Amino acid sequence: MSWFYLDPENLEMTLRVALALILGAIPGLEREYHRSPAGLRTHMLVAGGAACFTLASVYGFDQGDPGRVAAQIVSGVGFLGAGTIWMRDSGPGGLTTAAGIWMVAAIGMLMGLGMYWLAISSSVLLLLTLWLLRFVRAEK
Protein backbone atom coordinates (compact mmCIF):
# COMPACT_ATOMS: atom_id res chain seq x y z
CA MET A 1 0.00 0.00 0.00
CA SER A 2 1.30 3.40 -0.91
CA TRP A 3 0.63 6.40 1.29
CA PHE A 4 1.31 8.90 -1.50
CA TYR A 5 -1.39 8.30 -4.10
CA LEU A 6 -5.13 7.72 -4.10
CA ASP A 7 -5.60 4.00 -4.27
CA PRO A 8 -8.94 2.50 -3.13
CA GLU A 9 -7.72 2.00 0.43
CA ASN A 10 -6.59 5.63 0.78
CA LEU A 11 -9.88 6.82 -0.70
CA GLU A 12 -11.82 4.77 1.84
CA MET A 13 -9.77 6.19 4.72
CA THR A 14 -10.43 9.71 3.41
CA LEU A 15 -14.14 8.87 3.19
CA ARG A 16 -14.09 7.67 6.80
CA VAL A 17 -12.65 10.97 8.02
CA ALA A 18 -15.08 12.97 5.86
CA LEU A 19 -18.04 11.01 7.20
CA ALA A 20 -16.77 11.45 10.76
CA LEU A 21 -16.73 15.22 10.17
CA ILE A 22 -20.28 15.10 8.81
CA LEU A 23 -21.52 12.94 11.67
CA GLY A 24 -19.86 15.30 14.15
CA ALA A 25 -21.72 18.16 12.50
CA ILE A 26 -25.10 16.64 13.33
CA PRO A 27 -24.95 17.17 17.10
CA GLY A 28 -22.69 20.17 16.56
CA LEU A 29 -25.48 22.01 14.75
CA GLU A 30 -27.85 21.34 17.63
CA ARG A 31 -25.30 22.60 20.15
CA GLU A 32 -24.57 25.64 17.97
CA TYR A 33 -28.27 26.44 17.74
CA HIS A 34 -28.53 26.43 21.54
CA ARG A 35 -25.35 28.51 21.90
CA SER A 36 -23.43 25.86 23.82
CA PRO A 37 -19.75 26.39 24.65
CA ALA A 38 -18.72 23.87 21.99
CA GLY A 39 -20.65 24.09 18.74
CA LEU A 40 -20.47 22.96 15.15
CA ARG A 41 -16.75 23.30 14.46
CA THR A 42 -15.68 21.81 17.77
CA HIS A 43 -17.85 18.73 17.36
CA MET A 44 -16.73 18.25 13.76
CA LEU A 45 -13.06 18.56 14.66
CA VAL A 46 -13.32 16.16 17.60
CA ALA A 47 -15.03 13.52 15.45
CA GLY A 48 -12.62 13.99 12.54
CA GLY A 49 -9.59 14.00 14.83
CA ALA A 50 -10.72 10.84 16.57
CA ALA A 51 -11.15 9.17 13.17
CA CYS A 52 -7.66 10.26 12.11
CA PHE A 53 -6.06 9.00 15.32
CA THR A 54 -7.93 5.70 15.03
CA LEU A 55 -6.82 5.24 11.41
CA ALA A 56 -3.24 6.07 12.37
CA SER A 57 -3.44 3.57 15.21
CA VAL A 58 -4.83 0.74 13.10
CA TYR A 59 -2.90 1.28 9.86
CA GLY A 60 0.13 3.36 10.82
CA PHE A 61 2.03 1.05 13.14
CA ASP A 62 3.40 -2.37 12.32
CA GLN A 63 3.86 -3.38 15.93
CA GLY A 64 2.13 -2.62 19.16
CA ASP A 65 -1.38 -2.48 20.45
CA PRO A 66 -3.74 -0.28 18.40
CA GLY A 67 -6.02 -0.06 21.43
CA ARG A 68 -3.46 2.10 23.21
CA VAL A 69 -4.15 5.05 20.91
CA ALA A 70 -7.90 4.54 21.36
CA ALA A 71 -7.47 4.68 25.13
CA GLN A 72 -5.57 7.95 24.80
CA ILE A 73 -8.35 9.41 22.65
CA VAL A 74 -10.88 8.62 25.37
CA SER A 75 -8.85 10.23 28.14
CA GLY A 76 -7.70 13.19 26.02
CA VAL A 77 -11.21 14.04 24.89
CA GLY A 78 -12.41 13.69 28.47
CA PHE A 79 -9.92 16.41 29.38
CA LEU A 80 -11.14 18.56 26.48
CA GLY A 81 -14.75 18.09 27.57
CA ALA A 82 -13.87 19.03 31.14
CA GLY A 83 -12.81 22.42 29.81
CA THR A 84 -16.39 23.12 28.73
CA ILE A 85 -17.79 22.69 32.25
CA TRP A 86 -18.23 25.79 34.38
CA MET A 87 -19.75 26.59 37.75
CA ARG A 88 -22.70 28.91 38.22
CA ASP A 89 -25.05 29.67 41.09
CA SER A 90 -27.45 26.86 40.19
CA GLY A 91 -24.65 24.27 39.85
CA PRO A 92 -22.35 23.07 37.09
CA GLY A 93 -23.09 23.94 33.47
CA GLY A 94 -21.80 22.57 30.21
CA LEU A 95 -22.15 18.92 31.20
CA THR A 96 -24.26 18.04 28.17
CA THR A 97 -21.74 19.69 25.89
CA ALA A 98 -18.87 17.81 27.57
CA ALA A 99 -20.73 14.50 27.23
CA GLY A 100 -21.58 15.32 23.62
CA ILE A 101 -17.91 15.94 22.82
CA TRP A 102 -17.03 12.60 24.37
CA MET A 103 -19.76 10.82 22.36
CA VAL A 104 -18.68 12.54 19.13
CA ALA A 105 -15.14 11.27 19.72
CA ALA A 106 -16.53 7.74 20.01
CA ILE A 107 -18.44 8.25 16.74
CA GLY A 108 -15.22 9.42 15.08
CA MET A 109 -13.42 6.34 16.36
CA LEU A 110 -16.19 4.13 14.96
CA MET A 111 -15.83 5.81 11.57
CA GLY A 112 -12.06 5.37 11.71
CA LEU A 113 -12.59 1.66 12.26
CA GLY A 114 -15.03 1.49 9.34
CA MET A 115 -18.03 0.69 11.52
CA TYR A 116 -20.31 2.81 9.35
CA TRP A 117 -23.71 1.60 10.56
CA LEU A 118 -22.86 1.95 14.25
CA ALA A 119 -21.34 5.40 13.73
CA ILE A 120 -24.34 6.70 11.76
CA SER A 121 -26.93 5.19 14.11
CA SER A 122 -25.04 6.50 17.15
CA SER A 123 -25.00 9.98 15.65
CA VAL A 124 -28.75 9.87 15.03
CA LEU A 125 -29.36 8.54 18.55
CA LEU A 126 -27.22 11.33 19.99
CA LEU A 127 -29.22 13.93 18.11
CA LEU A 128 -32.51 12.38 19.23
CA THR A 129 -31.25 12.38 22.81
CA LEU A 130 -30.36 16.06 22.60
CA TRP A 131 -33.73 16.95 21.04
CA LEU A 132 -36.15 14.70 22.90
CA LEU A 133 -34.69 15.06 26.36
CA ARG A 134 -34.13 18.80 26.17
CA PHE A 135 -37.26 19.53 28.18
CA VAL A 136 -36.90 16.75 30.74
CA ARG A 137 -35.70 18.34 33.97
CA ALA A 138 -35.51 16.94 37.46
CA GLU A 139 -37.51 18.93 39.96
CA LYS A 140 -35.60 20.39 42.88
Q: How many C-beta neighbours within 10 Å does residue 48 have?
A: 24
The radius of gyration computed from the CA coordinates of the chain, to the nearest angstrom, equals 16
Of the listed ranges 18-32, 52-66, 88-102, 126-140, the one predicted with least confidence: 126-140
Could you tell me which residue, 126 or 86, shows the higher pLDDT?
126
Average of per-residue pLDDT across 114-131: 91
pLDDT tens-digit map of 31-70: 889 888 788 998 999 999 999 999 988 887 777 777 888 8
119 Cβ contact list (under 8 Å, min separation 6): 19, 20, 23, 107, 108, 110, 111
Q: Where are the domains of the chain?
A: 8-132
Average of per-residue pLDDT across 59-87: 80
